[in-house]
A and B are shown apart, each in its own frame.
Chain A
Amino acid sequence: MHNLRTGVKLIWLPVIAGLLWVSAAAFVAGRATKQGNAVPATDTIPWPASFGLGKAATPAEIKAWDIDVSPDGRGLPAGQGTAAAGKIVYQTKCAACHGKTGEAEAGVKLLGPALVSDSVFVGRKGNTIGNYWPYASTVFDYVRRAMPYHAPQSLTNNEVYAVTAYLLNANKIIPANAVMNAATLPRVEMPARKYYINDDRKGGPEVK
């Protein structure tokens, strides 16, 4: 009895193997899907659902590291500032590298790029926040993470709001009395936004 059953199994083996092969191929083909079943076709041992490596990140750990700000304002912290307060921050902590007013000065070579101009688009030469930057959130995000160059992340959130207000006002984008905070900053419309287009090239003979 036993032997007979084994015999039947053996006969079916190639068929089962074939089915397995088909399902494995389907699994591998699923690799590029968004579900993320990323299994390299070369592995001979099936991957576990999870490798069990790493550890869960706590909300406190994420909060401590997550400092980015999106154009819609996601990520903006509490706090606020005005151009008047920002002028003091600028003069004490930024002017040494970006110039007295942030504008390019003929014949003066600054350590940092010019930050202030009018909003007339001039291409890449002389590009500044006023004539080239498409989102106000980027000013806050970049200054908070990377400036002042020699001491990044040394400003308080209020100082970042204030110096952002100062720079936006100096570029004639917001009025002098505007208060910048998590609600107002995402609503600032940048003059250069309208110039931005996505690269749509996909290869092929055309030169664009």
Chain B
Amino acid sequence: MEQNHETNNSKPAKLSRRKILGGMAAAGILYIQTSLGKTLKPVLPAKWRKSDTSPNDLITPGPGPSKVGGRSPYERPQRLPSDISSRTPLQDLLSPITPSDLHYERHHGGVPNIDPEKYELLIHGMVDKPMKFTLRDLKRFPAVSRICFLECSGNFRSGKENMTAQEVCGLTSQSEWTGVMLSTLFREVGIKPKADWFLAEGADAAYLTRSIPTSKAWDDAMIVYGQNGEAIRPEQGYPARLLLPGWEGNMNVKWLRRIELSDQPFMTREETSKYTYPVKDKIRQFSFEMDARSIITSPSYPAKVEPGWHEIRGLAWSGRGKVTKVEVTTDAGRTWQVAQLQEPVLSKAHTYFRLLWYWDGSETEIASRVTDETGYTQPTLKQLVDYRGADMGGYHLNPITSWQIKRDGSVLFKPESRK
């Protein structure tokens, strides 16, 4: 057998019931080859009989080891795609890391196919030495790994009761990213003192561009090529993307091909026509940090609850640092209780919260609100409307999200009006 000796165990290789029965029929006697290549005498009972200990008809060995694993056929979490984005099934996640194939997507010209051998990153403009780096070069620089969330700043949907957490705010996900600190590369090319901004440009069909303050590079910006231990997914910017922990998703330019240092922002379409929003009679521009936000993901629509004990679970995060507190109400906002935070609580990272809850069968509403380390507490939609005005658009909205618990145990989203 081609199996090597390291995987030395006595389990029969590639043994199906059909093969066994066929073998028995053909020879009346069966030889099983082990991974060691030894031939064993048959050990089968005289006649097949139903097992007493298993719900299955027969206990038969399952498939052996394989090159790439997959999910259990009973688990089918899926992104929810539209023409321009796909959403993470927040209600199906059990802990803060989003499986890479469920990470949300938003792109403006589709997913490009980039050959890593041909990939190059150009850094130029107000620098001492304009340079090009291959993917190999990027990987040879000192590397760093960091867990943080990404969130599209257009991540709020409302309007009907039959909405899942995925539909309401599934444009956020979390990965462990690996790459080189942008400051390491900036040190290599030498940044001119007046270069307060840089342009990041993607290699997708939109050649998407954003202006970013250079201070973010000295703080915590990275160029990442790894996601959850492997190469980043094409939808996430393969082979390399910009990562700006805590800052709006659109700025974390994917398929990064070019960085240009300048003394002023470039005023690209993505930071003027898009990703800006009316505040009273003005247009607010350059909202970088994602404001603190939380959502209960269990129970949430379309779950049904039974009277008795439940653990309310959900996600909380802030683009400005750590989550310091999550409060949960189970009586439609009359009282709030402090939920437990899953350690470790990381800066600019999705943080799980949990709170025990006894549902007595009466109608109510449940909701969560987060406070971050700057002292900011997640607002209600009404608070946002009161300050910004009803025509505030859809960017940078982080309202408290309530779920209605009906008498029959059904859980429904609570849409709120902006007026």
A residues near B, CB below 8 A? 31-34, 36-38, 40, 43, 47, 50-51, 53-57, 61-62, 65-72, 121, 123-125, 127, 129, 132-135, 137-138, 141-142, 145-146, 149, 152-153, 192, 195-199, 201-208
Contacts and interface: CB of A to CB of B under 8 A. Distances in A.
Interface residues of B, number: 74
8 contacts: A36-B183, A40-B142, A53-B137, A56-B129, A61-B122, A146-B208, A199-B288, A204-B374
Contact of B284 (A66, A72, A199): A199
Interface in B136-187: 137, 140-142, 144, 181, 183-184, 186-187
Interface string B380-397: 000110011001011000
A66 B205 contact: no
Contact of A56 (B131, B140, B193, B391): B131
Nearest to B376: A203
Interface string B105-122: 000110000000000001
B375 interface: yes
A199 B267 contact: no
A145 B206 contact: yes
A195 B273 contact: no
A146 B281 contact: no
Contacts of B379: 207
B377 interface: yes
Nearest to A34: B193
Nearest to A195: B283
Nearest to B185: A54
Where chain A touches its partner, the secondary structure class is loop
Contact of B133 (A54, A68, A132): A54
B262 A70 contact: yes
A63 B47 CA distance: 79
Contacts of A34: 191, 193, 214, 218
Residue from B122, B187, B289 with most neighbouring chain A CB atoms (10 Å): B187
A62 B122 CA distance: 8
Interface string B175-214: 0000001011011101101000001010001111100001
Nearest to A147: B206
A138 B124 CA distance: 21
Contacts of A57: 122-124, 130-132
A146 B108 contact: yes
B375 A127 contact: no
B132 A38 contact: no
A38 B375 contact: no
Interface of B: 108-109, 122-124, 129-134, 137, 140-142, 144, 181, 183-184, 186-188, 190-191, 193, 199, 201, 205-209, 214, 218-219, 257-258, 260, 262, 264, 266-269, 272-273, 276-279, 281-289, 320-321, 372, 374-377, 379, 383-384, 387-388, 391, 393-394
Contacts of A195: 281-283
B269 A138 contact: yes
A54 B209 CA distance: 23
Contact of B124 (A66, A67, A132, A133): A66
B285 A199 contact: yes
Contacts of A138: 267-269, 272-273
B387 A207 contact: yes
Contacts of A31: 183, 218
Contacts, number: 180
Contact of A123 (B214, B260, B264, B278): B278
A76 to B, nearest CB: 13
B287 A123 contact: no
A122 B149 CA distance: 33
Contacts of B201: 68
B219 to A, nearest CB: 7
B255 to A, nearest CB: 14
A55 B132 contact: yes
A146 B122 contact: no
A38 B268 contact: no
A136 to B, nearest CB: 10
A72 B138 CA distance: 33
A70 B272 CA distance: 13
Nearest to B134: A54
Given A53-B133, A53-B141, A67 B207 contact: yes
A146 B272 contact: no
Contact of B272 (A133, A202, A203): A133
Given A51-B188, A196-B283, A203 B320 contact: yes
A175 B254 CA distance: 39
B283 A152 contact: no
Given A36-B191, A57-B122, A152 B132 contact: no
A98 B279 CA distance: 28
Given A34-B191, A56-B130, A207-B383, A124 B206 contact: no
* Chain A to chain B: the 9 pairs with minimum beta-carbon distance, closest first: A203-B374, A38-B183, A124-B393, A123-B391, A142-B269, A36-B187, A54-B133, A145-B207, A199-B287
A80 B262 CA distance: 26
B393 A123 contact: yes
